[in-house]
Amino acid sequence: MKNFSGKVLFLDRSDINTDEIIPAKYLTEITKEALTPYLLEDLSLPSFNNKEDIKDKVVIVTRENFGCGSSREHAPWALEVNGINVVIAENFARIFRQNMYNCGMMAIELSNEKIAHLFDTYAGKNTSITIDIENDKIIVSSEGASEEIDFKVGEFDKTLVLEGGWVGYADKKY
Amino acid sequence: MGKTLAEKIFDAHRVDMPFPDTHVLKLDRVFCHEITTPIAITDLMARGMDRVFDPTKIKAVIDHVTPAKDSKTAEQGKILRDWAKRHNIKDFFDVGKNGVCHAIFPEKGFVRPGFTVIMGDSHTCTHGAFGAFAAGVGTTDLEVGILKGVCAFHFPKTIKIVLNGEMKPGVYAKDVILFIIKELTVNGATNMVIEFTGPVVDAMSMESRMTLCNMAIEAGGTSGVCYPDMTTVEYLWDFIKDEFSSKEEALKEYSKWKSDDDAVYEKVCEYDITALEPMVTFGSKPDQVKTVKEMTGTKVDQIYIGSCTNGRIEDLREAASVLKGNKISEDVRGIVSPATPAIYSQALKEGIIEIFQDAGFCVTNPTCGACLGMSNGVLANGEVCASTTNRNFNGRMGKGGMVHLMSPATAAATALEGKIVNSNLYKS
């Protein structure tokens, strides 16, 4: 299982698309590692610096419709090679969400209220999140305080995370 | 309780339901191109599982960057080419025979009503125009599709769009779909199928229906779909005439692939489009749509006519009817990319290529290149493109570039003026 515990990157915008996560000009790379320097290179978000802000992060917290647009699995891969294995959002584009779980990564959906709470309480602070997949809990800690937030993950998605992705599971089963 | 078309296709293809709302479907087609497939191939090789479930159901094309522009894209093409040869995938379209995937695969008759189709490309929803369930997927789903011929989906609810009235001159399928995306928003159909129905769709060619279904993903939709009818049968006839004794018999068979009258929808949206005007996007999301009238006078640097949305013969005819006898503005560059070699040949025969060249357009080979800023027409920082493609994302056609999506006719008129303008001004 991948690492689901670490520092949080807050991206305060909806509809962050796949071309912003990884521009098409880098899709000519044929290894995942080659995508490392280009993650979020074209993100349209004031004061965001893709060289500095991504460093050491494991979790992204964002708003609605993250990963809309292209089917490119290069988007989750670009996150993965930078150590980011979890995205928490109000909702996701279907293909991006499935790609995350297919890679054994997590795309967690929370209500509008819970996402707003995370932004209001923690954005701008040094915040860490741990995903407790056994108990469906997000543990948020920041500046000495911590809280737990419940989330739901489907059985299929959970199985993909525990099995490390769809290829191994499908090969055994079909 | 009745069923939707998507539900009927799911029922006919379900091989397993390992978990609640997890439907593993048997695939009729797995389409491949050289950008998203090579990593699936190399991963299968690394796992010692370099196999394909059925070489006759897998179709492959080099289309995104072709001919190769550098060593990396040459390598991607080579991986796909070698793999197709190794596994005896006969329907592989290489340089000289290749076209934009969502134009060439339908043209070859590979998609039939009731089929399940996946491809590592978000615009796979295009093929729903034939009454198929066609979904874009990532490389891992593609990899499992290649290996096992299955793909897992959550059950998609359906939004039914009913289009009444008729399209007035200067208004095309592209204007209709831009209007619908504006209404639904970029997230409005996520995890859902969009059904396009009503008299306007009934009167549309397969090309126009493909334009509608192509952009279902821009509202988040899993697949667009149209019901098969005699137009579908006519389009496919050369490929199916040995299977049926008559077109009527084919129609009878295909007619089962439509939703029941009492099917349950997420929602039904009914529009009379008689008053609809030509539409164009502003901003960097496909639901940011205004009328051409509101955007008239917006300066552009480049015009691009092509892509899986609007690079088919009907699109080139519409653009040529505006361009005929005119020259494009001195201030702009025009690029046209017929979406397949057959479309290119047909356009040559009809004198359309000559019209484009006389007007000052550059005619390129069939490729996806410019649409996603990979080749054949990349924008410079600060430049603006009037484009018949499907995405106006920030930097999509080149870093710092701006894209306005529109119909081929509007794009052609915009080329003449150097500014966004209604195509009716140039029609005799």
pLDDT per residue as tens digits for the range B311-322 = 999 999 999 999
A99 touches chain B (CB under 8 A): yes
Percent of chain B predicted with pLDDT > 70: 100
CATH number for B157-272: choose from 3.50.50.100, 3.40.1060.10, 3.40.50.300, 1.20.1250.20: 3.40.1060.10
- Could you tell me which chain B residue has the CA closest to the CA of A68? B220
Residue A42 and residue A50: Cα distance in Å, rounded? Answer: 9
From the list A73, A93, A167, the residue facing B220 with the nearest CB is: A93
A29: domain CATH number is 3.20.19.10
Residue of B nearest to A164 (CA): B140
Compare CB distances from A95 to B138, B143, B152 and report the shortest one's residue: B138
Residue type for A30, please?
I
Indicate yes or no: CB of A173 within 8 angstroms of CB of B16.
yes
What are the chain A neighbours of B32 within 8 Å (beta carbons)?
Answer: none
Number of domains in chain A: 1
Ranges of each domain in chain B: 5-153, 157-272, 280-426
Q: CB of B403 within 8 A of CB of B93?
A: no
Q: Which residue of A has its CA nearest to B397?
A: A24
- Token pair, residue B214, equals 């192509």
Residues of A in Cβ contact (< 8 Å) with B62 = none
pLDDT tens for residues B188-246? 999 999 999 999 999 999 999 999 999 999 999 999 999 999 999 999 999 999 999 99
Strand partners, A24: none
- Cβ separation of B147 and A159 shorter than 8 Å? no
Say if the Cβ atoms of A156 and B19 lie within 8 Å: yes
| Cross-chain residue pair A30–B395, CB shorter than 8 Å | no
Check residue B428 and give its pLDDT: 58
Beta-bridge mates of residue B385: B302, B403
Strands A137-142 and A145-150: antiparallel
Residues B55/B87, Cβ–Cβ less than 8 Å: yes
Strands in B150-208 per DSSP E: 150-153, 157-164, 192-197
Asked if B186 lies within 8 A of A68 by C-beta distance, the reply is yes
Average pLDDT, chain B: 97
Give B350-369 pLDDT, tens digit per residue. Answer: 999 999 999 999 999 999 99
* Each residue's pLDDT tens digit, B296-344: 999 999 999 999 999 999 999 999 999 999 999 999 999 999 999 999 9
| Model pLDDT for residues A59-111, shown as the tens digit of each residue | 999 999 999 999 999 999 999 999 999 999 999 999 999 999 999 999 999 99
Residue span of the structural domain in which A69 resides = 5-173
Write out pLDDT tens, residues B27-57. 999 999 999 999 999 999 999 999 999 999 9
Q: How confident is the model at residue B1 (pLDDT cuts 50, 70, 90)?
A: confident
ipTM, interface predicted TM-score of the complex: 0.96
Q: Give buried/exposed letters for B126-148 (b at 16+ CB in 10 A, else e).
A: bbbbbbbbbbbbbbbbbbbbbbb
Domains B5-153 and B280-426 share a fold: yes
Q: What is the pLDDT of residues A136-157, one digit of tens each?
A: 999 999 999 999 999 999 999 9
Length of chain B: 428
Give the residue from chain B lying closest to A156, CA to CA.
B19
Residue at B215: amino acid letter: M
DSSP annotation of B278: P
Q: What's the confidence (pLDDT) of residue A164?
A: 86
Amino acid at A145: A
Q: Which of A20, A21, A33, A70 to mutate to test the interface with B (most CBs of B within 10 A)?
A: A70
Å from A101 to nearest chain B CA?
A: 10
Residue A40 has pLDDT above 70, yes or no: yes
Q: Which residues contact B302 (CB under 8 A, 6 or more apart)?
A: B332, B333, B334, B335, B377, B379, B383, B384, B385, B386
Query: What was the pLDDT predicted at A30?
Result: 83
Which candidate from A15, A28, A102 shows the least CB-CB separation from B285? A15
3-class secondary-structure state, position B355: helix
Q: What is the DSSP string of B91-103?
A: -EE-TTT---HHH
- Nearest residue in B to A70, CA atom: B122
Per-residue confidence at B427, pLDDT binned at 50, 70, 90? confident
Nearest residue, CB atoms, B138 vs list A28, A98, A171: A98
B280-426, superfamily in CATH?
Answer: Aconitase, domain 3 (3.30.499.10)
Q: Is the pLDDT of residue B247 over 90?
A: yes
Q: Which two tokens stand for residue B219?
A: 């509202």
The beta-carbon neighbor of B394 closest among A42, A72, A98 is A42
Among B14, B39, B82, B155, most A C-beta atoms within 10 A, so best to mutate, is B39
Task: Report A:17-56 residues touching B (Cβ under 8 A).
Answer: 17, 19-20, 23-25, 27-30, 32, 42, 44
**Distance of alpha carbon B417 from alpha carbon B326, whole angstroms:** 10
Strand ordering across the sheet containing B302-305: B361-363, B333-336, B302-305, B384-387, B402-405
The CATH number of B5-153 is which of 3.40.109.10, 3.30.499.10, 3.20.20.80, 2.60.200.20?
Answer: 3.30.499.10
Q: B47–A167: do the CB atoms touch at under 8 Å?
A: yes
Q: Prior bond to B199 cis, omega within 30?
A: no
For residues A151 and A91, what is the distance between their CA atoms, to the nearest angstrom?
A: 13
- Are A73 and B138 inside 8 Å of each other by CB? yes
**To the nearest whole percent, how much of chain B has pLDDT over 90?**
99
